[in-house]
Amino acid sequence: MSRSPRLVTLLALLGGASFLVWPAWLNGYPLVFIDTVSYLLHTTAPEVPWDKTQAYGPFLHLFHWQRSLWPPVLAQGLIASHLIWLAQGVLRGRPHPAWHLALCAGLGLLTSAPWFLATLMPDALTGLVPLSLFLLAFGRLTRGQTLWVGALAVLAVAAHLSHLPLALAMLVLTLLLTWRTGPLLRAGLPVALAVVFLCTANALAFGRFTPSPHGAAFLLARLQADGPAAALLRDRCPEAGWHLCAFTDRLPMDSDELLWDGTSPLNREADGSPRAMGAMRGAAEAQQIVAATLRAYPLEVAGAALRNALAQLGKTRVGDTLSAEHLDLSARRAIAGHFPAEELARFDAGAQMRGALPALAEPWLWPHLPVLLASLPLALWLGWRALHARDSARLALLAFALGALAANAAAAGALSKPHDRYQARIAWLLPLAVGLAALPRRPGPLQ
């Protein structure tokens, strides 16, 4: 490729990235969430987060170096822009800068994509899990592109525990669509490497070679909130001798309250005194209770998981990620303690920290649901056309988008409490797939 087309490509990628993170400019600073503090402190304090994976914190540090949080958010936008560029190339034979800018602009103005890509949370990478695995399985990438996309897939899968079942669902879908080992191996290798990374990191930090050493606490919180684990505790206590036996009269309760409220049964001793890091300390007991609940109430657990997944499918609003609630005690604390004073001043001046971001964002959020709803019948129609045209790449992309939305809802519903942000973080993938699948194939040189 000559210098001129390379420059055009670079400008298209940068322009696309700008559309994909523009809420950071609206805010005057990269967006953060309550949990951002854990990822910042992971490499600056350092404090290994017990309730999160150990991939996203180092990714942030790779770009911020305790100087500024702008480079990480720009990196997220550029990574997403490049993956979309590659996906256009897979479907059209060769990507075109104008179409790329149009796609990124549409995502930026009409979907939830920029509101998560502009946020320093692993949710920014959720939609990149199926997108990168699609490219590996169905894209005819060069060796360099394969290594690059594969590395991004490892990062994206390892960044959040809910990304692992999402990735496994995409591997199952790959097998169903191809029945060939090649695509499955290309997409499966990064997933396997992500699992090895998670297990190794947890072995070093917590002495347990497992993807999630404390994940049982979250499953217990979900199962007791749905009822089955609370019923089991009433049946088995006090003979079982579990810590929670002293609190059966308070169960079931909201899962978030059980995990995080200072007065919850996990965070209190039987005599009412505080129990520090109660959810972490209770993980081994939680594993026993979860296993017993699954054996005793399998149908009830399955029914609750299905109800939660269906509830999660309908929750796609961005708004619960934009407020300033608790930011002074979370992200601000990390920036104040480990970044220059001028960076803290920029954070404080942002609309989010001042509580003004929800009002600023409101006019831009209304198209998300209509666009998402319109994308569903369009995806089915385009999928039917691709099937009859034997266009396996377009059919696979649309299937990946639909499958990813369902798998994400199932994982979030089973592992946690349905929240708007869990589905909004990936909902943009369906409009993207529709936009890409609707583009005409254009062989030959750029025109």
Q: State the pLDDT at residue 443.
A: 54
- Rounded to a whole number, what is the distance in angstroms from the first to the last CA of the chain? 15
d(CA 84, CA 113): 12
Q: State the pLDDT at residue 442.
A: 67
- Identify the segments of the chain with pLDDT beneath 70: 1-3, 442-447
Q: Which tokens is 373 given?
A: 């709803």
d(CA 52, CA 213): 10
Q: Which tokens is 249 given?
A: 């009269």
Cβ atoms of 59 and 36 within 8 Å: the answer is: no
Q: State the pLDDT at residue 203.
A: 96
Cβ atoms of 185 and 192 within 8 Å: the answer is: no
Q: State the pLDDT at residue 108.
A: 97
Altogether, the residues listed in the chain come to a count of 447
Q: State the pLDDT at residue 440.
A: 86
Q: State the pLDDT at residue 1.
A: 47
Q: Which of 23, 61, 25, 27 is nearest to 44 (CA)?
A: 61
Q: State the pLDDT at residue 3.
A: 61
Measure the CA angle with vertex 40, ends 319 and 10; round to 5°.
75
